[in-house]
A and B are shown apart, each in its own frame.
Chain A
Amino acid sequence: ETAVFQTPNYHVTQVGNEVSFNCKQTLGHDTMYWYKQDSKKLLKIMFSYNNKQLIVNETVPRRFSPQSSDKAHLNLRIKSVEPEDSAVYLCASSPTGTGNTLYFGEGSRLIVV
């Protein structure tokens, strides 16, 4: 049963445009994440938020910016997209504490033309 909701599921846009992906979780978790999955299915963490505080910020390009209004929401904005940004962006959440399982949304596929 899905408890991490992402919108949109799919987005096609041109180079240079701005894109936003939204994520909401209904699990009551304190921590949320954005992962990027490339064409080879490889997943890499981009950002992690705990109670609206950024705790992990991988060296992603500056055009990517996470935005969190509360612990249940974590959005991802991409300013001026580039072709290499084409990927699936997966949102996840987990309870606070080491060893806890991450629960993923179904992903937002971005195609940059």
Chain B
Amino acid sequence: QQKVQQSPESLTVSEGAMASLNCTFSDGTSNNFRWYRQHSAKGLEVLVSIFSDGEKEEGRFTAHLNRANLHVSLHIREPQPSDSAVYLCAVSMRSSALGRLHFGAGTQLIVIP
């Protein structure tokens, strides 16, 4: 059973400082990784998808994947107060049925002006 764990549980940063979020997964055959953002009482917004080791940048959001270490991270450059939200890591296994994403419990990011 795939386990996805995120850290930290909560992160407070000042506006403009880099924010780094971590996600570890248990199944080494995982091949699809996504970071979603969820503002309070809202749906999920996909930020960046990554499928191979290395980095993938989408605007101010950069995902870094190291499958050997079972680790994927998200770095937010110049965070703004509007980036305050819950960030969810989603992992899909090669053996999974279509669309079955395994989610972490999220990191609550608070950006202080």
Residue positions of A touching B, CB distance < 8 A: 2, 4, 31, 33, 40-45, 48, 50, 55-56, 90, 92, 94, 96, 98-107, 109
Contact = CB atoms under 8 A, between A and B. Distances in A.
Nearest to A10: B41
Contacts of A107: 41-43
Contact of A102 (B38, B86, B97, B101): B101
Contacts of B97: 48, 55-56
Contacts of A96: 98
B106 interface: yes
Contacts of A104: 36, 43-45
Contacts of A90: 43-44
Contacts of A48: 97-100
Contacts of A100: 99
Contact of B34 (A43, A55, A101, A105): A101
